[in-house]
Structure 1
Amino acid sequence: MRSRDVPVSVDSDSEQAFSLLADETRLAILRALAESPHEPLTFSQLREQVGVTDSGRFNYHLGKLTDLFVKKSEAGYELRLAGWNIVGAILSGAYTRGDDVGPVAVDPPCPRCNGQVEATYVDERVHVRCADCDKTILDAGIPPGVLEGYDDASFPEVAERFVLSLFSQARDGFCASCQGRMDPRLITTVEDLGPKDVCEDAQAVYSCTRCSEEHIAGIGMAYLDHPAVVSFYYDHDVDLSQPHLWGTAWRDKPVLTVVSDDPLRATVDFEVDDETLTLTIDETLEVHDVKRSPAP
């Protein structure tokens, strides 16, 4: 599984918006308003919280933020959605580097060689890899703020839950980075996806139409919340609402078989115990048919 961040161009309006934040006083204004989410602050209250004694200087900086990041009303000042997004990014650690973590041992063992799986967090990316055969299981960017408040031993589980949330949002059609539209597609040749140590089993791709971010994973991730898949595993005492990114439910990865090329149709077989669940899907990962049968 891979979550890839792709550099994108920034238009002049965006550059101008971010240039307004290139001042400590303006960032302090946004954070002060975030600390009063349910009640607007008057000019005097806001200036006092920020700690600026020069009223004219403070008014200048506040004026630069008003309309785009800050809303002014008769009751006072409060954050607009854009302002909340900036504060959220700051608190998440998106613009600051966190401490490196790991390697931390991860259960269960490697699905390829049964070796020890380890997780590391370096340069704001989590990397889960087998220490024996070097198979990459997960590679994804994670803001440092996600891991704040957790000890090192908990970080693999926290990282797993965060990555699952990214894919859940992508399956719903929204980019976690820019809120643009995510388009899903089926890839049947992994050579098109990049380094094999990352994409070896990848066949489901979610691409943002706005910022070019991509999430790439094994085909099973596309159907982690599909009702037929959830009920199938639940009938076999596996609860998919619990983290299973590299756990028992996905240790034996689903099998993808192309059954026609024009239009593209493929089957995805999930096998547990003596039963098989088969989904028939198209190039956009839409499910056209569901069938349960005894395992061959």
Structure 2
Amino acid sequence: MEQTRFTPDLDLDGLSSDEAFGILGNEIRLDIIRVLWRAGAAYEYDDGSDAVETVSYSELQSEIDIDDNGKFNYHLSKLAPHFVRRTDDGYRLSSAGKQIARTVIAVSGAESLDFSRELDESCPLCGAAVAVTYEDQWLRVRCTECYGLFGDQAPVGTLFLTNYPAAGLTTRDSEQALAAGLYRCALDITYLMYGICCECAGQISSSVTACDVHEVENGLPCDSCGTPFPVWADMKCDTCGFAKRLPVEMFATGLVLATELTGNPELDIDSPALDEAIELLQNSVETSVSTKPLRVSLAIEVETTEFTLTLDDEMNIVEFDREPRTDTVVS
């Protein structure tokens, strides 16, 4: 079968992606990872510590409930050394094994979540009712009446859309989930803008497309490009395929929000709210496009600070400055 972006031609530490899928495509091997994870058989911390628990061969075999020594040893050996490590004291998960376990835990429980409801707020675009839904690990906020922010690039009415692990919703209400979702999006975008994949640390390839005849009237998307925004960017990891396609303004404001949130200890994870983020996008961002070569320049005002950002046709940051706003008074 021809390779796709989901199975790149890689050979990391002697293990290709196809081989990794093959190793993990077995119930017994996944059960071994599950037992080691539940037993805490891994390095306790992900950096700076040698503290580690292990499970003995006999205890692990008993938990897996396989009497055939040859069969059990065969499957255990397939997991080593990439997902399971053998030590003098027993067996533990490798870093990759921990990542597999964490992924399973993060996506578990989605079918039992009922997160669909109308929110106690109105659409910042038209004032109509706003609803939130959760489906296929995606958290979506939509207006019940207008086109939303994305035109034909997303389901009608979409105001916010993000991949969201099910485990992250079990202890949060809708407002807390949206705040965390915005924060995660801003950090994802920041990684992408600096050429790093937040999923696998791979390199990012990017491109920019601009609508030459962009025209928006009465809040409707442009007839030519089908969206309210004239410039869009595609950013995709060359290794694992993690990708986002968004208006350039959203990439820029995401970077600015992350810069503000991580640079100001007085801000907490509950800021900004969705309506504040949309208001920032609509009223506090000025965008200009020049050609030969293509440059997208943005000026973004946030509270007492003005950010200026210039991007090229591959979303490289040509300029990024921040200055105190001269039109605000600090009491």
TM-score, structure 1 as length reference: 0.75
CA positional deviation for 1:65 = 1.1
The answer to whether the Cα contact below 8 Å between 1:199 and 1:216 also exists between their aligned partners in 2 is no
**Which moved further from structure 2: 127-136 or 12-21?**
12-21
Q: Is the alpha carbon distance of 1:103 and 1:134 closer, same or farther for their aligned partners in structure 2, counting shifts above 3 Å? A: farther
CA positional deviation for 1:57 = 2.2
Identity over aligned residues, as a percent? 24
Match of 1:287 among 292, 305, 319: 319
- Partner Cα separation in structure 2 for residue 58 and residue 216 of structure 1: 45
Partner residue in 1 for 2:200: 178
CA positional deviation for 1:20 = 1.8
- 1:126-165 to structure 2, matched below 5 A, reads 126-135=139-148, 136-150=158-172, 154-165=176-187
Partner residue in 1 for 2:135: 122
Deviations 1:38-80 (A, max 9, x none): 2122211222232333323211211111122111222322212
Partner residue in 1 for 2:90: 76
Match of 1:221 among 228, 249, 254: 254
Q: Is the alpha carbon distance of 1:280 and 1:125 closer, same or farther for their aligned partners in structure 2, counting shifts above 3 Å? A: closer
- Partner Cα separation in structure 2 for residue 188 and residue 292 of structure 1: 30
Q: Is the alpha carbon distance of 1:271 and 1:164 closer, same or farther for their aligned partners in structure 2, counting shifts above 3 Å? A: closer
Residue 71 of structure 1 aligns to a residue in which SS?
strand
Residue 251 of structure 1 aligns to a residue in which SS?
helix
User: Is 1:101 the equivalent of 2:114?
Assistant: yes
Unmatched segments (≥5 aa) in structure 2: 11-15, 43-51, 149-157, 215-220
CA positional deviation for 1:149 = 4.0
Partner residue in 2 for 1:3: none
Partner residue in 2 for 1:167: 189
The answer to whether the Cα contact below 8 Å between 2:305 and 2:322 also exists between their aligned partners in 1 is no
Residue 222 of structure 1 aligns to a residue in which SS?
helix
Match of 1:40 among 38, 54, 60: 54
Match of 1:208 among 237, 242, 246: 237
For this pair of structures, how many residues does the alignment match? 280
- Partner Cα separation in structure 2 for residue 57 and residue 79 of structure 1: 20
The answer to whether the Cα contact below 8 Å between 1:101 and 1:122 also exists between their aligned partners in 2 is no
Unmatched segments (≥5 aa) in structure 1: 1-5
Q: Give the root-mean-square deviation of aligned CA atoms.
A: 3.8
CA positional deviation for 1:279 = 0.4
Residue 111 of structure 2 aligns to a residue in which SS?
coil
The answer to whether the Cα contact below 8 Å between 2:190 and 2:254 also exists between their aligned partners in 1 is no
Residue 139 of structure 2 aligns to a residue in which SS?
strand
The answer to whether the Cα contact below 8 Å between 2:179 and 2:270 also exists between their aligned partners in 1 is no
Partner residue in 2 for 1:26: 29
CA positional deviation for 1:120 = 0.6
Residue 240 of structure 2 aligns to a residue in which SS?
coil
Residue identity in the other structure for 1:79: L
Residue 129 of structure 1 aligns to a residue in which SS?
strand
Residue identity in the other structure for 2:276: T
- Partner Cα separation in structure 2 for residue 62 and residue 230 of structure 1: 43
The answer to whether the Cα contact below 8 Å between 2:83 and 2:96 also exists between their aligned partners in 1 is yes
- Partner Cα separation in structure 2 for residue 286 and residue 107 of structure 1: 41
TM-score, structure 2 as length reference: 0.68
